[in-house]
Structure 1
Amino acid sequence: MNQTAPKVITIPPKPELAQGKAVQRQLRVAAYCRVSTDNEEQLTSYEAQQIYYTDKIMTNKNWTMAGIFADEGITGTSAQKRPEFLKMIRQCRQKKIDIILTKSISRFARNTVDSLKYIRALKELGVAVIFEKEGINTLETDSEILLTMLSAFAQAESENISANVIWGIRQAMREGKVRIQYKKLYGFKRGEDGRPEIVPEQAVVVRSIYDQYLAGASYNMIKKRLEAEHILNVSGKPEWSLSVIRSILTNEKYYGDVLLQKTFTKDCISKRIVRNTGQLPMYLVTNNHQGIIDRQTFDAVQVEMARRGACKSPSRKNAPTGLSAYKSRYALSERLVCGECGTLYRRCTWSKRGKKKVVWRCVSRLDYGTKYCHKSPTLEEGSLQRTILAAISSVMSQKETIISRITGAMEQTLAPIPGETMSLSEIEQRLAEIDEEVRRVVAQTAEQGLSICADHMKALTDECAELKKQRSRIQEQRTNNSALMKRVDDVASTLRQTSPTITEWDDSLIRQLVDTVKVVSAEKIIVYLQGGTQVEQNMVE
């Protein structure tokens, strides 16, 4: 082993340090600028701040430029919405900045919590923030209390400005002054007079959405149709969302009205948008502009939407709330019910030995076995459809009566008239019955004398007069509801053209004809047609 004596090597001191002169590196100084809005005047101010800070940093021999960070037209109440501010904070954590210059506390942040949080974080990193207007350096010992007070004042100022702006907006709403975001409103554009103007090609799409929905289509079916036809949405993209379709079906602007203050900003700090469910007044401006659809069609859609939303779920197991999502892919999805327990049936596909068979089964049996429903049968789809068609065909010899009942039911559903309990077809039917009864009474009067039948005749005459008044009111309403009545007439025309013997299954036709199908047993069903006609039918193989 080599035994070498230790040797001491002396490293001489640096001459400049030995004489007591410390070498100081230049401090890396950044500046933060922010303007409240993005209009031209404020952008000029923003550019002026950039020039000012560039000159101030570069003319100081002890400083070097670490960057100028600026947010244009961005809120000062939330740091999360200021990307340049957050970038500056990241560089401070990466030890790339020693000092931050900013005009005032209100430029840095108008949220007391944010302001103090970031100032304390920077202080722990050894980064000073210098507020020129207030003359504060955050690394100085007495700055904390003063900063807290001034930050609170800045936030209060922001809240006061926000309150004034909101007051102005709400005052304009009270006066009926409408502001519309055309960027998100399909079917309209800003006209030359500043009012909504219909876009013809988009209006056709809006009307088709309303017609499809009233014909039984779900949001998803409408979405698939729009995308299959390559119809572009309001953003010019071919994808449609269910929320956009629902918005089109529920937005009062499509029939010419504007409802103001449907949402509001909860506070100026979080800027969270909250739906107005009664917390604040709303203002309805009627007949503000020409609508794409009429008011009656819009109301009919809202009625249909409420009806679908009120549907009870067939399965408590899969829907704890008890409500179901509307399904219209198959005509029988909402119509086929179990005669034993009243639960809806569900379409299922069975696979056995590589072969598939479509059947319908009681949802209660599917979810709970025989616990609640003991004997509900499983029905093969083809046989079930043939049986329903046979039931419909058996009453098609009374086609005009069936059509009258169906169109009457449609009138009551699509265009209900306040205070009226009878449809036009029901009134006509009752008037015909009264006419027959009057003839019998007249014949009876000739035999028994006028005094015996006078009261009965007066009652019939009064009822006839009242029914004719109702008929006049409904006919007048039908004229006003021309678009809806056209739908009723179209359905009637389709049914009249339908063959007396229906041999092919058509989901659209079944939706128009059938209200409910009750499964009595494996051998029998009862078909309830729209308007009240019911037909018992043995199963057809």
Structure 2
Amino acid sequence: MAKVRIIPAKKIITNNRNNPHSTKRRVAGYARVSTDSDEQFTSYEAQIEYYTEFIKSRPDWEFIKVYTDEGVSGTSTNRREGFKQMINDALLGEIDLIVTKSVSRFARNTVDSLTTIRMLKEKNVECYFEKENIWTFDGKGELLITIMSSIAQEESRSISENTTWGKRKQAKDGKVSVPYSNFLGYDKGPDGNMVVNEEQAELVRLIYALFLQGKSPNGIAEILTEKNIPSPGRGKQWVSSCIKSILQNEKYIGDALLQKSFTVDFLTHRQKVNEGEVPQYYVEDHHEPIVSKEMFALVQTEMKRRDGMPGRRNRRRMLSGRILCAQCGSWFGEKKWHPNSKYQKVVWQCNGKYDKAHSQCTSGNLIEQDVQRMFVIAVNRLLKDSSSILETQKLVYDTVFDTAGLERERTALIADMSVTAELMERMSSGQPSSRSNGYTHTQEYQALQIRYEQAEKRKEELDNTIQDKVAKKALATSFFDNLKKQNSQVVRFDEDLWSGLVDHLKVHSPNDVRFIFRDGSEIKVDLSEEEKKRPPLTEKQMTEISGLRRDGMSYAKIGEKLNLPRGQVRSFCLSRTSKNEAAVQEDGEHVLCKTCGKELEHTPGFRKKIFCSDGCRQDWWNRYAKFKAGEGRATNKVTCQNCGETFVTYGTNRKYCSRKCYSEHRGQEGDSRD
């Protein structure tokens, strides 16, 4: 008969790889509270102190650490950094036992609890839940943990539902909650209400003003980032989505829309934008506004208008998104000619010019200085009719922008919607309707719902109409105010005036540019015709141009400085150069400088001068660069010192017409070559 010999099991009480037979278990504690309140903070500190002393009091345990998570929910492990660090250390073999207060402190998600505990058991790491007295290595441990985790999860569901009910009750009562740490413009006052932070409020007003001046959200974000202004989240980088959020937030006009979003799942805490699934509440005049309702309405209208204009991208520069091609409907963009060279030039060109779909576009190019000159011309024409425009202002305000009737209809609709919503709420809660007229419960509820939806649709139409009228009124007010401030003709380009008056330009051709002003008026400017109307240059202007040109200033800079068209400055300089080149005496001696026309002083015995200075010489050669390339070089006729024949050469250093003549004259024999 076979003999059976028993080999007793060796109980390993630690997973320490360096010392597998150690009698002490390495123990860590875990403490967590789900909120940052003072009461919870006391509990948080008490848990840490208790488990530190509890673990150290056991002679067979070695204290490792108390891992903590403060102000974090236990329904998910995503944001619990202390918990994740503890599990990672345990899996690396640094912990043998984890002690915590209860299953709910460990996790309120049944799946997370079981998954984590099974993963730890595979690495021979045990967990002890003091309140329930559960050891995970116990045979019944997993069953008890499953039951207790399910109870903890249901408790979380109950807490979430109670919290949601409380928040919705607060919203219904008009109580506004704001994340002040990440909200620009307001602080929490002593009574818990919103108080304006004047320093931040100025930044909010600046953002609104920049947008109305034509800047895009992305352009505003770049400006604020360059100025090193911290973002609402105290970061260094601004993004366009943050700017859009500020521009669309109704809290800056003193109102508040509550329940914009709601929690879909209490375990994942996933938020969803409220699209009618739960009631919303709009609280008017809740706190002190930062911007006026007129400005806010104007911004919303402008955002809708820009969204409907594809291709109108970043409006960082003055002309960005302001020049529209009348031929193909594309926007003009900034282009650089001869980049990274001294001949670099910036022009504005239709973005659809070389698109296959717009191959016939012939709108041409525009230079920024020319646009500025055309703007001055257009504004001066507008100012001639400003008196008649301002006379019609009051009539326009009293008729076109009147919203009194719309406001009354809107107020009546809101009252009717409130009554309908109250009836629907009663029916949904099971209370019988006092207005029952024979319909079944479902039919009556559906009738109320249709009534509410129709009223809501009409209210939305009224809101859009009122907002549009208010925005147009604010736009017209700004336009008229800018006109009133301009008491005299415009002499130079003013960017503030440009932003306040002009909406955009339509370019039919370089000689047919239409300025569309913010009041809807349109003025055509033909620059070539305007050039013909300009008076001739005075002696003073000609002298100033010559002097500035001698100093190396460009045509555009001279025109900007003297308030003259670039083309007129260029024409004068080129014509003056032609006259200077003709001013040469019969003996070949130049009388005037070829560049600036200054009278030359020749020194006897020295080479005759052509230019008065090195600057004029360099300027002339830059203008006539073809001579450097070999086309039309400056040539001279020279007589050969050997044969006496005349030949043409570049420069005056050659003395012989050929190699043969050179050899003969030197008394040397050899082959000659041309």
TM value normalised by structure 2: 0.58
* Residue in structure 2 matched with residue 491 of structure 1 by the alignment: 482
- Larger deviation: 204-213 or 219-228? 219-228
Distance 1:416-1:365 versus aligned 2 partners, 3 A rule: farther
Contact 1:112 1:148 in 2 (8 A): yes
Find the aligned partners of 2:160 and 2:337 in 1 and give their Cα distance: 63
What is the letter of the counterpart of residue 358 of structure 2?
A: Y
Contact 1:309 1:325 in 2 (8 A): no
* Residue in structure 2 matched with residue 248 of structure 1 by the alignment: 246
Find the aligned partners of 1:303 and 1:174 in 2 and give their Cα distance: 29
What is the letter of the counterpart of residue 90 of structure 1?
A: N
Contact 2:336 2:344 in 1 (8 A): yes
Matches within 5 A, 1:360-371: 360-366=348-354, 368-369=355-356, 371=357
Find the aligned partners of 2:317 and 2:41 in 1 and give their Cα distance: 55
What is the letter of the counterpart of residue 281 of structure 1?
A: P
Find the aligned partners of 1:118 and 1:128 in 2 and give their Cα distance: 11
Find the aligned partners of 1:416 and 1:345 in 2 and give their Cα distance: 37
Distance 1:51-1:180 versus aligned 2 partners, 3 A rule: closer
The offset of 1:181, in angstroms, is: 2.9
Instruction: State the Cα deviation string for residues 255-283 of structure 1 (Å, max 9, x = none).
Output: 21122112323322222333333332211
Which SS does the other structure have where 1:497 is aligned?
coil
What is the letter of the counterpart of residue 497 of structure 1?
A: N
* Residue in structure 1 matched with residue 129 of structure 2 by the alignment: 131
The offset of 1:89, in angstroms, is: 1.0
What is the letter of the counterpart of residue 339 of structure 1?
A: A
Point out the structure with max Rg over C-alpha.
2
Find the aligned partners of 2:141 and 2:521 in 1 and give their Cα distance: 82
* Residue in structure 2 matched with residue 26 of structure 1 by the alignment: 24
* Residue in structure 2 matched with residue 378 of structure 1 by the alignment: 364
Find the aligned partners of 1:28 and 1:338 in 2 and give their Cα distance: 76
Contact 1:30 1:68 in 2 (8 A): yes
- 2:497 counterpart of 1:509: yes
* Residue in structure 1 matched with residue 11 of structure 2 by the alignment: none
The offset of 1:518, in angstroms, is: 3.2
The offset of 1:118, in angstroms, is: 0.9
Instruction: State the Cα deviation string for residues 146-165 of structure 1 (Å, max 9, x = none).
Output: 43333222212111111111
Distance 1:345-1:171 versus aligned 2 partners, 3 A rule: same
The offset of 1:305, in angstroms, is: 1.9
* Residue in structure 2 matched with residue 345 of structure 1 by the alignment: 332
Distance 1:117-1:515 versus aligned 2 partners, 3 A rule: same
Which SS does the other structure have where 2:94 is aligned?
coil
Contact 1:58 1:64 in 2 (8 A): yes
Distance 1:301-1:90 versus aligned 2 partners, 3 A rule: same
Which SS does the other structure have where 2:513 is aligned?
strand
Contact 2:64 2:95 in 1 (8 A): yes
What is the letter of the counterpart of residue 510 of structure 1?
A: W
Contact 2:478 2:500 in 1 (8 A): no
Instruction: State the Cα deviation string for residues 379-398 of structure 1 (Å, max 9, x = none).
Output: 24144544454455456533
Instruction: State the Cα deviation string for residues 419-450 of structure 1 (Å, max 9, x = none).
Output: 89xxxxxxxxxxxxxxxxxxxxxxxxxxxxxx
Which of 521, 544, 554 pairs up with 1:532? 521
Distance 1:54-1:205 versus aligned 2 partners, 3 A rule: closer
What is the letter of the counterpart of residue 359 of structure 1?
A: V
Instruction: State the Cα deviation string for residues 56-99 of structure 1 (Å, max 9, x = none).
Output: 43444433223322333321112232222222112212211112
* Residue in structure 1 matched with residue 427 of structure 2 by the alignment: none
Matches within 5 A, 1:50-199: 50-199=48-197
The offset of 1:307, in angstroms, is: 1.6
Higher normalized contact order (CA 8 Å, seq sep 6+, divided by chain length): 1
Distance 1:88-1:396 versus aligned 2 partners, 3 A rule: closer
* Residue in structure 2 matched with residue 37 of structure 1 by the alignment: 35
Distance 1:363-1:409 versus aligned 2 partners, 3 A rule: farther
Contact 2:216 2:313 in 1 (8 A): no
* Residue in structure 2 matched with residue 327 of structure 1 by the alignment: 315
Distance 1:518-1:191 versus aligned 2 partners, 3 A rule: closer
Instruction: State the Cα deviation string for residues 326-377 of structure 1 (Å, max 9, x = none).
Output: 525223x3343333322222221111764112222221124x25x4331414
Structure 1 vs Structure 2: percent identity of aligned residues? 36
Contact 2:374 2:525 in 1 (8 A): no
The offset of 1:253, in angstroms, is: 1.9
Matches within 5 A, 1:200-279: 200-223=198-221, 240-279=238-277
* Residue in structure 2 matched with residue 519 of structure 1 by the alignment: 507
Which SS does the other structure have where 2:296 is aligned?
helix
TM value normalised by structure 1: 0.71
- 2:357 counterpart of 1:359: no
Contact 2:218 2:314 in 1 (8 A): no
Distance 1:300-1:515 versus aligned 2 partners, 3 A rule: closer
Distance 1:213-1:498 versus aligned 2 partners, 3 A rule: farther
Find the aligned partners of 1:404 and 1:175 in 2 and give their Cα distance: 48
Distance 1:290-1:526 versus aligned 2 partners, 3 A rule: closer
- Larger deviation: 383-392 or 347-356? 383-392
Find the aligned partners of 1:184 and 1:412 in 2 and give their Cα distance: 43
Count of equivalent residues: 447
Gaps of 5+ in 1: 1-21, 314-323, 421-473
Find the aligned partners of 1:484 and 1:89 in 2 and give their Cα distance: 61
* Residue in structure 1 matched with residue 628 of structure 2 by the alignment: none
What is the letter of the counterpart of residue 532 of structure 1?
A: S
Gaps of 5+ in 2: 1-19, 407-465, 532-566, 568-674
Find the aligned partners of 1:348 and 1:92 in 2 and give their Cα distance: 61
What is the letter of the counterpart of residue 246 of structure 2?
A: I
Distance 1:344-1:63 versus aligned 2 partners, 3 A rule: closer
